[in-house]
Amino acid sequence: NTFRRIYKPRMRRLVDAIKKKTAARVYLHSCGSIYRFIPDLIECGIQVLNPVQVNAADMDSARLKREFGRDLTFWGGGCDPVVLQTGTPRDVVEEVKRRIQDLAPGGEFVFGSVHNIQADVPPENIVAMFGAAREFGGYPTAKSLANPETGR
């Protein structure tokens, strides 16, 4: 495909050049459904993926962590933007807990919203998102994220 044929070799050379000059971790911002490209990005030397658009096709946070969590730091993905925009504060808290539960175990997760917080997001949902991140997002992630009814 076009990515593998044209972009991947160039990205690899660029990342290799960066890594020769610094110990910095290489970060890539890529919105959307990029699941099928993640193995290629890892081969290119990408170490941090942002924003982790959990509401895009094939971007299930638990699956991403399971399949790529040994190779990538996930930066973002802390709350589905649709839930943030249209849900209740309780919905937002549950969404944040789910994403932390999926992405944080073992480390390599930087909590953040999936996208810029839009102007029409209710302020109480923003407060709920960051409050839940503070409450449930510390390391180690031993604070009870489990739903007492389901154990999950």
Domains delineated in the chain? 2-17+28-136 (3.20.20.210)
For residue 84, what are the CA distances in angstroms to 50, 103, 138, 145? 18, 18, 21, 19
Query: Which pLDDT belongs to residue 138?
Result: 83
> What are the tens digits of pLDDT across the range 104-116?
999 999 999 998 9
Rounded Cα distance between 67 and 65, Å, is 6
> What are the tens digits of pLDDT across the range 117-146?
999 999 999 999 999 999 999 876 645 555
Residue positions counted in the chain: 152
Tokens, residue 11: 């990205």
Q: What backbone torsions phi and psi does residue 28 show, to the nearest 5 degrees?
A: -130, 130
Reported pTM: 0.88
> What are the tens digits of pLDDT across the range 4-59?
999 999 999 999 999 999 999 999 999 999 999 999 999 999 999 999 999 999 99
